[in-house]
A and B are shown apart, each in its own frame.
Chain A
């Protein structure tokens, strides 16, 4: 009907399946447990984002002098914003140690989000597997930061904050749930936000097929354009929110006493 859904059953539009996976262009292998290693549109888009980042950022980083020229004018304020607003408040004097990770996460998510808004492409961050992978990286970084800044034993001891002894077992359970809830929330937040706009656009464009009139087409296209503009903003905001929350969680792991 509206969207060409997954190919497994032509009579059913399985939108969720359509959103979670994209069609495979090149079959590589399927690991035991049904984990597919196929090259899909999302994989290609991630490669494109990475290639763009490598080319752009390395050319900017090689520029000599304090005065920025060309593309560096666009990128440098963003880099400084992340350093001043995210890294320094969370890591204080050790900001430079974690800054490259935050920059990479921010720009990779941003490029995936923005590339997904081009007609004919697909949003790699609108795939739950991609965001789960990003959240897994964030999960590892949170605990690597904690162990690196505090030492393994001190970090394990600081998982539960200092409380009266009878509260300790309860808080241990809460904190362990929290450890896994944080990356889960990161993954689902990014995935749902990137898909939400797409679904709204799909529904609005679906009105054309529902009403079959020129008037509905005009209104739908105008409304879809407005939602598209909102999606541009959300693409930036969600890249920032993911980086922001990762930085806050890493900062909490690094300085466990507050």
Chain B
């Protein structure tokens, strides 16, 4: 049972990282493309890039915090 819980925590952390990586990667690619197309708007684009990346990262960190709680509940 403990092994399963630990596995769940590890797999959960991995999936959260996968999702966050995909999401932030898409944001960065979009931002870089639009900065290349419109370099004069780089400041605004960077601002919204950081904002959305921070929002995604927040969700990923929730997932990691939950995984961590499972892990520390069963680590002995």
Contacts of B51 in A (CB 8 A): 244-245, 248
Contacts of B68 in A (CB 8 A): 15-16, 199
- Interface size, B (range): 10 to 19
- Interface size, A (range): 20 to 34
- Which residue of B has the minimal Cβ distance to A248? B51
Given contacts A11-B76, A192-B61, A193-B61, contact A85 B47 (CB under 8 A): yes
Given contacts A13-B75, A14-B72, contact A245 B54 (CB under 8 A): yes
Q: Summarize B's interface: helix, strand, loop or mixed.
A: helix
Whole-angstrom CA separation of A196 from B16 in the bound complex: 14
Contacts of B71 in A (CB 8 A): 15
Convert A74-102 into 0s and 1s, putting 1 for each residue whose CB lies closer than 8 angstroms to a CB of B. Answer: 00000000000100010000000000000
Contacts of A15 in B (CB 8 A): 68, 71-72, 75
B70 to chain A minimum Cβ distance, whole angstroms, is: 10
Whole-angstrom CA separation of A73 from B64 in the bound complex: 39
Q: Counting CB contacts under 8 A, is A189 at the interface? A: yes
Contact status A188-B65, CB under 8 Å? yes
Which residues 47-76 of B sit at the A interface, judged by CB distance below 8 A?
47, 50-51, 54-55, 57-58, 61-62, 64-65, 68-69, 71-72, 75-76
Contacts of B57 in A (CB 8 A): 189, 193
Listed by A's residue number, 21 A-B pairs whose Cβ atoms lie within 8 Å are: A11-B76, A13-B76, A15-B72, A15-B75, A16-B69, A16-B72, A17-B72, A85-B47, A185-B55, A188-B58, A188-B62, A188-B65, A189-B54, A189-B57, A189-B58, A193-B57, A193-B61, A196-B64, A240-B50, A241-B54, A245-B54
Residues of A within 8 A of B (CB): 11-17, 85, 89, 185, 188-189, 192-193, 196, 199, 240-241, 244-245, 248
Residues of B within 8 A of A (CB): 43, 47, 50-51, 54-55, 57-58, 61-62, 64-65, 68-69, 71-72, 75-76
